[in-house]
Amino acid sequence: MQEHVKAIFTECIQTQIASADLLQEPLMRAAGLLVDSLLCGQKIYCCGESMAHASARHFAHIMLTGLQFERPPFPVSALHADYGANEHEAIFAQQISAFGQPNDLLIVLNAGSHAPRVTRAMEAALSRDMLIIALTNDADHEVGGLLGPDDVEIRIPSRNAARVSEHLLQLVNMLCSLAEQQIFPQEDD
């Protein structure tokens, strides 16, 4: 049993090291897109497929309330997974179709290999000329294929849903922290 626990920690650490090397550039691009959207008064929506939805809701919460210091709330909304959509897979897409405007930003998270609710939301966002930040993983081939040249993908270097979920939480915390630092640089002093 101890060897299994050690193997889990080792896999987590190895994914962290690989992420530190691979994700700096896309993370900075995503933070820039997020900050530009906030400063231009655009709305930001986020959602996640399956267990990644909790990280999307966490992101919306810390963007509204602040992560590192007290500040005005950022206009970020987590799409609800509990609305009574006609089709379960259209639940996020219906909300984007109802509220999304050109140049608004959709942030999607996926820890698994399939993302039917998220991809439908992305299709709705694309039809409304919205921008997209996608936090994905090496097993995900659906989400990345929908991204355009102005969108950003942060692809976690793992196929293990548990490791990906851990990193999704870390990445949304990092995005919020980077946005706060760029918009309120005086708070770093």
How confident is the model over 28-67, as pLDDT tens digits? Answer: 999 999 999 999 999 999 999 988 999 999 999 999 999 9
How high is the pLDDT of residue 120? 95
pLDDT digit string, tens, across residues 13-33: 888 888 888 999 999 999 999
- Report the b/e string of 168-188 with b at 16+ CB within 10 A: beebbbbbbebbbeeeeeeee
Parallel, antiparallel or unpaired: strands 152-156 and 131-137: parallel
CATH class, domain 2-188, is alpha beta
Is pLDDT at 159 greater than 60 in this prediction? yes
> What's the rounded Cα separation, in Å, for the pair 118 and 108?
6
**Does residue 163 contact residue 10 with C-beta atoms inside 8 Å?**
no
Compute the average pLDDT of residues 112-139: 95
For the chain, domain boundaries: 2-188
Residue 89 is predicted with a pLDDT of 85
pLDDT of residue 15: 87
**pLDDT of res. 88:** 76
Check pLDDT > 80 for residue 82: no
Label residue 84 by pLDDT band (50, 70, 90).
low
pLDDT at 85 over 80: no
Q: What is the pTM of this model?
A: 0.92
Q: Comparing 36-40, 81-85, 154-158, 183-187, which segment has the lowest mean pLDDT?
A: 81-85
